[in-house]
Chains A and B, each alone.
Chain A
Amino acid sequence: MAPSGRTSSRRDTVLLVACLTLGIVTRALPDTLKEPVAGALRTTVLAPLVALQRDAELSRRAWLDRNETLRAADSVALQASSLGPVRRENEQLRRLLGLGARLKWGFVPAEVLRGRGIAEEYTMILAAGARAGVQPFSPVVSPDGLLGMVKTVDPTLSIAILWSHPDFRVSAMTADESAFGIVAAHLDGEEGRNLLELRGVPTRSTLVPGTVLWSSGVGGNFPRGIPIGTVLGEAKDPAEVWARTYIVEPTVNPAEVDAVMVLRPERRDSSLANVWDSPNAVAGGVRRVVAAGDSLARLRAEDSTAAARRAAQAAQAAVTVPQRDTATTAPPRPRPAPAPVPRDTVPRDTVPPRPDSVRATRDTVAPPRDTVSPPRDSVRPPPDTGGAPPGTSLPHSSADHPDPVQRPLRR
């Protein structure tokens, strides 16, 4: 066994030396010779392994691409999911900017701090305090309307009670000021937690659902003209005899508010006209519409009166030419219709009033339809001129129109 072992050992040594020599020679080969040998190995022995490696590389790349695609899809989904809140926040901030532009001065913008606890559903923490000018009892408003009132003020923070707080009260009124009352939280169980109620409305004042309530300014804490809510209906309370209570839907949902405006005391005492669609603006708009309608009606009435007057003057002129005695007995002769005389060229006092002849004229001489053609809806004279002779009592003089703007509209 010993010679065999030595032979084997010698053979191993020879093989090792041969391998080392071949390795060194291979390493020392120039690249022009290395490449053909390596290429031959790659295309023969290594070909299936290279194919496996290529497939593995492609699989890995596909896996990475899939991960990348998934990441991109997740990113797009994440962006899409966050787009709604961002858009809503953007809308809120834009509206808040609009509110700030309308308020112009005397307010402190404040961000609402989230993460509120269950017990804090009646309050709101604002990221603005005494250093920013916030003071206790300052109204907290949003672009939609009244939100609450500052209760506690720290140097950098403040806590406001919301309209849902049991202690919250605000004096309210309707836009036409026909009803006043006190708005407070509707504390009727879980369902009514998000509602308000308008108390103390006189029995004679009936509010229809949809009536918008505004702060009336009575009491001094809240300025006049902040929207509070919309009447939903009357709350029937048998105990109330002399007053009514209405359920009100607030205009502002505190859960959807991320930023608010705190009105400073000096702004609280001034007018908030035109900041929101204030009741004064609404009432003013209604009055303007009604006035425009009245002006148009007056204009049409004047047109009809002037036409009747011109016709009467023409008829009177025709009657006074023949003898006066025959005026009452003579049958009316058809005459050609006189040309309409421009009003400004015939003074009123040139045609004296003749009651006897006027009656005859009125009875016998009717203005031809084709010559005097007032608008059909304006034929009826004004009520105060029904029995009076035309030209003697004009229904509207210039003094009847104190508004100088309407005078140029006359013909």
Chain B
Amino acid sequence: MKGWSALRTALAFVILVVLHYTLRPMLAWRAEPDFLLIATLLVAIRVRPGTAALLGFALGLIADSLTVHAFGAGALGLALVAFAASWLKAVFFADNAALNAFFFFVGKWAFNTIYLIVEHRFTGGELIEQIFVWSVLSAAVTAFVGLAILLILRPILRPSTS
């Protein structure tokens, strides 16, 4: 990732992180979009898997600081998802909207699944409901919002031709 491209990606990352702490509380949806995951995936597909894992871990740990009871769960999940996304980045094409949306969907769902399992807050049928109902809905919303953000930030995230 060249310098200008890295700067634009960092800008998009910051915007998404800020959106996570401003727009999401204002929306307060039951199945809410995860701007942190979108930001992580956007960066993860542009860096090496190890760096992506480190970024995911750091971001997850910061996010976990607001939920002490699940401290570490988000770091673990986001590190895994970021590593996987970076490792699988060759499979996806950045300019394909459907693949990107599916990428966000799978990433969010995987993150929620890891998070819920590690968190140990839900068990049994409640855990299954959270994984297969609310996580799916949240993943769908995240995919939709991520796609919209990709379209909005296209001028920033467009790979440089030089």
Contact = CB atoms under 8 A, between A and B. Distances in A.
B28 A60 contact: yes
A20 interface: yes
Contacts of A11: 48, 50
A23 B66 contact: no
Q: Which size class do A's interface residues fall under?
A: 35 or more
A60 B25 CA distance: 8
Nearest to B27: A60
A234 B30 CA distance: 76
Q: Which size class do B's interface residues fall under?
A: 35 or more
Contact of B26 (A19, A37, A38, A60): A60
A94 interface: no
Q: Chain A at the B interface: mostly helix, strand, loop or mixed?
A: helix
A64 B147 CA distance: 29
B4 to A, nearest CB: 23
Contacts of B80: 16, 20
A23 B62 contact: no
Given A19-B54, A59-B26, A26 B61 contact: yes
Interface of A: 8, 11-16, 19-20, 22-29, 31, 34-35, 37-39, 41-42, 45-46, 49-50, 52-53, 55-57, 59-60, 63
Given A19-B53, A20-B80, A38-B65, 14 more contacts: A11-B50, A12-B83, A15-B51, A16-B79, A19-B54, A19-B79, A22-B57, A23-B60, A26-B64, A27-B73, A46-B62, A56-B23, A56-B24, A56-B25
CB-CB nearest 9 A-B residue pairs: A12-B50, A15-B50, A23-B76, A26-B72, A27-B72, A41-B65, A19-B57, A19-B79, A38-B65
Interface of B: 17-18, 20-26, 28, 48-51, 53-54, 56-57, 60-62, 64-66, 68, 71-73, 75-76, 79-80, 83, 87, 118
